[in-house]
Structure 1
Amino acid sequence: MHLMDWGNYPVVDTTLLRPRTIDAATEVVTRAEHLIARGLGRCYGDTALNASLVVSAEKLDEMLDFDPSTGLLVAQAGVSLAEILDAFAPRGWFLPVTPGTKFVTLGGAIASDVHGKNHHLAETIGRHIAWCDVLTAEQGVLRCSPTEHPELFHATCGGMGLTGVILRAAIRLVRVPSVWIRQQGYKARNLEEIMDAFDTYAQAPFTVAWIDCLKRGPAMGRSFLMAGDWADPDSLPGKQRGRPFAVPAVRERNVPIPFPSVVLNPLSVRAFNALYYAKAPRGTSESIVSYNAFFYPLDAVHNWNRIYGKRGFTQYQFAIPREAAKEGLPQILDRIAASGQGSFLAVLKLFGKQTTFPGNISFPMEGYTLALDFPITRALFPVLDELDAMVLDYGGRLYLTKDARMSAATVRRGYGKALDAFLEVKSRYDPHNKFRSLQSQRLGLGGAAFLLHNDHAVAAL
């Protein structure tokens, strides 16, 4: 079958299996020569694609145990974050860390070691996992945690499924006073103002900014920052005050077919950015919004990836150290604007300190991260190669979960000794490279016999 991830690029012919039990999954993995695990396919590139076999965990979707005294939830890896929230948000519990979509599995979130708008306080989801059961290549199912097989645990958190198949996990949920967010908004005129605003709102539990990546000159980096905190019931208006855990219905839309490629062009993206910025309230503002509106605005638009057309898109996300950002971000934004390849979905966040562990290749570092969506075109990849070089020169790196085309040299330079330590753990638990993806083969993560280069990808367009 033809299979692709959320960016609809690349596309691979493969076999997709969806085992319904742990025993069935174990049998499939044991018999396979090589494979990669997959959740709901919301990673953007080729991290969950394999040309031979892809094993989906989406049918392993049982919640097994919950301790209301500690918030510890035990669930199979195929349970989605949406299912967890549907069950527990009305009871006053929430995820300790969440990415920008709830339509990912628990196992996929761990494999990507996802971060959220509260990284400066909570780091990544791996810091909130008590343990996970991993089906390894030669040692069967191993329960790993920060104290039990810790090297496997830390390599699995952010390891993109290359250490084995996550079967179950225990995650610590957190209590919240309501399902509503008190949101403060700040309209910044340029990049300097938005970076100052992140410092001003540093004590807010959640911060994120939309940024115009096509504007140049004095208005470069004009942005709208959203800072949020959980709203206390007494501060809620009207009926919400009496029902603080009643989750409001989401008005959902759908993109039924891929957009024609001519719809998304520099003029339309510039027009969207100008309209979005113009609609943002001037100065500072305050509002009460639902958690869905604050954390998952795009989830209300089903199949929004079709906006980018049949060729698909790639999300380019990088992080650079805080001390390099004042010089580096303007240079990178100027190159993006000059290319005309800009994105109307550009998100800027400020990471806090990230605890490091041997074998862990989690993406965040203390500094800024910028994520942008780019439609796949012939002109795109040379521009991204230039951006790679700039990010690396400023001491940064790219997010593996969003990647579809970076080189082996780029990932090795970006992750450095942490990558060497990860590969050592992988070779110990997977000596014959059973768990591999198109991405891991392209990046040489596991002794693959071949590499796919960027020029091959461009030639395929």
Structure 2
Amino acid sequence: MGRSYGDSCLLKDGNLLVTTSMNRLLSFDTTTGLLTAEAGITLGQILDFAVPLGFFLPVSPGTKYVTLGGAIANDIHGKNHHVAGTFGCHVTQFELVRSDGSRRLCSPTENPDFYAATIGGLGLTGFISWATLRLRPIVSRMIDYEGIQFHGIDEFLDITRQSQHVEYTVSWVDCASTGKNFCRGVFMLGDHSKVPAELKPSPEPKLIFPFDAPGFALNHTTVSLFNTVFFHKQIKARVKALQDYEPFFYPLDKVLRWNRLYGKRGLLQFQYAIPWENAREGTVAILGEVAKSGLASFLAVLKAFGDVPSPGLMSFPQPGITLALDFPIKPDVTFPLFERLADMTRDFGGRLYPAKDAAMTASQFQTFYPQWEQLARFRDPLITSSFWERVTGDKLAL
């Protein structure tokens, strides 16, 4: 869909392969939940088909405007990583078309090396033409939701430990506040409702952000005010509700072109995964550095990754804590901050998410992903990206 926050889906002075017209459903088995579709179909289109039949995605990111092929290429993760692992864990097979015209059926048992390299391989190993995904059954659109306010990283970690039995967990964290409000947030938990209810497709979103906001609109003061309001909109410390899956999984999707809020220069996202042994210390240090910078993110997502292994060679998640922050682009401030944060992530033994990156250096990437040289051996000789060229120096000789 071209919606990666960085340049993994771009190529300067090159040709882009656009797959969104390849969006046909090819087969679906209601007994096993196995769905086969062309790789240009979006997760939203899969949901429109599957939800009325009583099925849901096994793993979903924070937007449904992602193609099936893109979900595989970035080995996306969701709020249930601690129980379900990454998207690739649920892909049973796919066809990989190479630039020499060859077609490979890839699965854990057939061409397993290409299967592993392609899951999380950033689209570099070839063209995914179709894939088979195992869906999970549901009986309702509704989510049994619980929201819990927390004050500080230790409360977040306590709730995380106590909620391992809940399928979906994620937190919003206030990264603008300091002092007694440092690292306060709202922990959000959910399970698919077990009470049967009407299953129907979602309506199309009607709200569109109408213009590019001025560059000064998102500043430390306005974000701090937003964060205070957001934290206190939940009047009680703990609330329970029955919530439709759309606002639970895809709160931003209800406003099309929401990215215009960041102005004409756009936004950068910084997302790390730091292993458990350094997760608390690293999160406190990085949030402190963000608070010092004068920049602030109101879309700050904090959650725990589990230990379900991915079949992908280059998968991003690892057991520990992940934090995702969105910032408006202010060249003299944002990029230096990102370099400092990436170095801090490296020092704490973590890594950054290539699917959302526009700033990490070659040395940082190669430290985070020492297996990149193994991926390079599977890269299609006629396929590259601006991201790959930036972090490896490996350019096509055409």
**TM-score, structure 1 normalization:** 0.83
Contact 2:25–2:36 at 8 Å: present in 1 too?
Answer: yes
Paired with 1:414 and 1:439, the residues of 2 have a C-alpha distance of 15
**Aligned-partner SS, 1:442:** helix
Q: What is the match of residue 283 of structure 2?
A: 329
Say yes or no: does 1:110 pair with 2:64. Answer: no
**Equivalent residues in 2 for 1:51-66 (5 A)?**
51-66=13-28
8 Å Cα contact 1:180-1:244 kept in structure 2:
no
Matched residues in 2 for 1:309 and 1:140: separation? 44
Cα RMSD for the two superposed structures: 1.6
The CA deviation at 1:247 is 5.0
Count of aligned pairs between the two proteins? 395
1:356 CA drift (Å): 5.2
Q: Summarize deviations over 1:90-112 as a string: whole Å, max 9, x none.
A: 11100000110001110111111
How many angstroms apart in 1 are the aligned matches of 2:187 and 2:85? 20
Q: How far apart, in 2, do the equivalents of 1:251 and 1:319 lie?
A: 32
Cα contact 1:90–1:179 (8 A) shared by 2: no
Residue of structure 1 in register with 2:222 after alignment: 268
Note the 1:347-426 alignment, pairs <5 A.
347-355=301-309, 360-377=313-330, 378-416=332-370, 418-426=371-379
Give 2:189's aligned residue. Answer: 227
Q: Which residue of 1 aligns with 2:266?
A: 312
For residues 362 and 280 of structure 1, the distance between their equivalents in structure 2, rounded to whole angstroms, comes to 35
Q: Give the match for residue 10 of structure 2.
A: 49
Runs of 4+ in structure 1 deviating by more than 3 angstroms, as ranges, are: 246-252
The one-letter code of the counterpart of 1:194 is F
1:166 aligns with 2:111: no
AA partner of residue 129 (structure 1): V
Deviates more, 1:167-176 or 1:211-220: 211-220
Q: Could you say which residue in structure 2 is the equivalent of 1:437? A: 385
AA matched with 2:321? Y
Aligned to 1:190: 152
Paired position in structure 2 for 1:236 = none
Query: Retained in 2: the 8 A contact 1:191–1:223?
Result: no
Can you list the C-alpha shifts for 1:243-290, whole angstroms capped at 9, x where unaligned? 332456476421021111111111111111111011124322100000
- What are the within-5 Å matches in structure 2 for residues 249-264 of structure 1? 249=203, 252-264=206-218
Q: Aligned AA for 2:4?
A: C
Report which stretch shifted further, 211-220 or 306-315.
Answer: 211-220
Give the distance between the partners of 1:354 and 1:148, measured in 2 at CA.
22
Measured at CA, do residues 248 and 165 of structure 1 come closer, stay the same or move farther in structure 2, by a change above 3 Å?
A: closer
| Residue number in structure 2 paired with 1:120 | 82
Question: Contact 1:316/1:402 (CA < 8 Å) preserved in 2?
Answer: yes
Q: Does 1:448 align with 2:395?
A: yes
Cα shift at 1:130: 0.8
Distance 2:177 2:62 in 1: 24
CA distance, structure 1, for counterparts of residue 310 and residue 194 of structure 2: 34
1:179, 1:247 within 8 Å by CA — same for their partners in 2?
no
Matched, 1:178 2:140: yes
For residue 300 of structure 2, what is the aligned residue in structure 1? 346
Contact 1:392–1:413 (Cα < 8 Å) also in 2: yes
2:164 to 202, 219, 231: 202
* Candidates 245, 251, 255, aligned match of 1:301: 255
Per the alignment, residue 132 of structure 1 pairs with 94
**So what's the TM-score if we normalise by structure 2?**
0.96
- Per-residue CA distance 1:310-359 (angstroms, 9 max, x = gap): 001111111100111121111110000000111000001100014255x7
Partners of 2:326 and 2:251 in 1: CA distance: 16
* Residue identity opposite 1:92 in structure 2: G
Q: How far apart are the structure 2 equivalents of 1:248 and 1:140?
A: 39
